[in-house]
């Protein structure tokens, strides 16, 4: 078979491990030809192809990013995009397409599948908000990076008697904020799932600094917002493509906390450092398992599905059940973050 492969949306550590697994298993075990598309769905629309062999995926396991390149582009959302994508797949004689991406890429995959293309999705996102899977490629690395940053910030916060705000990614779900906040021992964790009350934060910080500590760490997800009716007015700042402006909520919290408490407050925005660098062993393993499962599914004729990890097992779930849904942080994990303040 001629099997297409693309990576779409934001890059994450572990993508190359997934590409490697698809190529090694597909070419070596099943005898398929793997045809990569550069820059995600844009490459499918433009016909920008890159045949992949075992030679192309040597020594890529520890490398971040994606050797195929990526882009935030969805063919069904552009005039003529879907028709152009279908024309390319026909011209390249692609019999099935493996799409590695987050919610946007997988939603696009479901639209292409509805048009008659055989598709298998692989979930990747540091936000960990893809529905139906316990974890997505890139999440473990992002949490490790964020936790290390919090560990480092602890010492400088204590040395200078400061409130330190650490802003992490997380548009709709606060997985990175909650898990790295717990692991790093943050005093406060602010996530999109639970809008915050700045007055309560003010009282907590004043009590903490009077009673037993001279510093505090606040971890905030970029998509966190104040509760409706609370004393802080704020609207999420977005860019021209709908992306949240990095640092906006962190800087606003800094101003509010300083004005309300008088404490010296600083902000660290981790931004794209969470998406870069060497993937953890856990992400390499998860990506490899997803890659093997995806190409095996294609070979078996099982398509229009997404690979998912549930417990210790990799399973296949219908793409139609995933598209347009968000996996939020469960209440139990939010409770743990609050309990350890």
Catalytic residues: 127
Known binding residue 127? Answer is yes
Known binding residue 275? Answer is yes
Known binding residue 47? Answer is no
Known binding residue 103? Answer is yes
Separation CA 95–CA 97 (nearest Å): 7
| Angle formed at CA 153 by CA 218 and CA 215, multiple of 5 degrees | 55
Known binding residue 266? Answer is yes
Q: What is the largest CA-CA distance in the chain?
A: 70
Dihedral of alpha carbons 255, 183, 308, 290, sign:
positive
Known binding residue 273? Answer is yes
- Nearest CA among 1, 13, 81 for reference residue 43: 81
Separation CA 90–CA 3 (nearest Å): 12
Label residue 1 exposed, middle or buried (CB < 10 Å: 0-12, 13-18, 19+): middle
Known binding residue 164? Answer is no
Known binding residue 73? Answer is yes
Known binding residue 72? Answer is yes
Separation CA 143–CA 149 (nearest Å): 10
The annotated binding site for substrate is made up of: 125-127, 162, 169-171, 222, 266, 272-275
The annotated binding site for ATP is made up of: 10, 72-73, 102-105
The annotated binding site for Mg(2+) is made up of: 103
């Amino acid at each position: 078979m001629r099997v297409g492969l693309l990576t779409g949306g934001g890059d994450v550590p572990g993508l190359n491990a997934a590409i490697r697994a698809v190529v090694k298993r597909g070419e070596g075990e099943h005898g398929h030809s793997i045809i990569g598309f550069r820059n995600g769905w844009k490459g499918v629309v433009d016909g920008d192809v890159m045949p992949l062999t075992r030679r192309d995926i040597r020594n890529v396991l520890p490398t971040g990013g994606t050797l195929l390149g990526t882009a935030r582009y969805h063919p069904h959302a552009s005039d003529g995009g879907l028709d152009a994508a279908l024309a390319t797949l026909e011209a390249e004689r692609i019999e099935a397409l493996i799409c590695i991406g987050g919610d946007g890429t997988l939603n696009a995959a479901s639209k292409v599948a509805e048009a008659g293309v055989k598709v298998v999705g692989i979930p990747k996102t540091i936000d960990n908000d893809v529905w139906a899977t316990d974890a997505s490629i890139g999440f473990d690395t992002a949490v490790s990076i964020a936790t290390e940053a919090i560990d480092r910030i602890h010492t400088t916060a204590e040395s200078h008697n400061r409130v330190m705000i650490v802003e992490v990614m997380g548009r709709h779900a606060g997985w990175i904020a909650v898990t790295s906040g717990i692991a790093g021992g943050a005093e406060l964790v602010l996530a999109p799932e639970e809008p915050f009350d700045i007055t309560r934060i003010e009282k907590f910080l004043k009590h903490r600094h009077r009673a037993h500590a001279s510093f505090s760490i606040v971890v905030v997800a970029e998509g966190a917002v104040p509760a409706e009716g609370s004393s802080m007015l704020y609207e999420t700042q977005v860019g021209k493509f709908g992306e949240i402006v990095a640092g906006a909520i962190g800087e606003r919290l800094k101003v509010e906390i300083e004005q309300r408490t008088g404490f010296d407050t600083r902000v660290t925005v981790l931004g794209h450092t969470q998406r870069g660098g060497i993937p953890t062993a856990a992400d390499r393993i998860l990506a490899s398992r997803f890659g093997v499962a995806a190409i095996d599914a294609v070979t078996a004729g099982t398509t229009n599905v997404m690979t998912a990890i549930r417990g210790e097992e990799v399973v296949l779930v219908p793409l139609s059940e995933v598209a347009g849904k968000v996996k939020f942080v469960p209440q139990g994990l939010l409770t743990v973050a609050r309990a350890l303040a």
